[in-house]
Amino acid sequence: MKPEKSEVVTPKPYFKISFGCSNRKFYDVKNLLYQIADDIDIEIQDGYIDEKCDYEGDLEEIILFRGEREDKLVSAVLDHYGLTVGIPADMSIHLSIF
């Protein structure tokens, strides 16, 4: 699945990658994220991500935190989606359905 839009969101800056899909289909994005991490030998449950759900408990946003140890995962995800924009090292990446 390809993102429909990517942008820097302010005032609290983060890089947002948006997908035009349902909550159920967004789980494919999550599964791909886990696969990317596995391919580069990163244990994703070790503090690399956070998930936000809507009021019904459906996944609607995945946050990739930036830091020295997370940079390899963030770079791999951006490369996978063909996003080679210069993003500051302290800016988190948000994958979202809207």
- pLDDT score, position 45: 76
Q: What per-residue confidence (pLDDT) applies to 57?
A: 92
Q: How far apart are CA 55 and CA 79, in angstroms?
A: 32
Residues 40-56: pLDDT tens digits? 998 887 777 899 999 99
Residue numbers in the chain where pLDDT is lower than 70: none
Question: Domain segments of the chain: what residues?
Answer: 20-84
Give the predicted TM-score (pTM) of the model. 0.86
Q: Among candidates 21, 17, 78, which has minimal Cα distance to 8? A: 17
The first and second tokens of residue 61, run together, are 């946003």
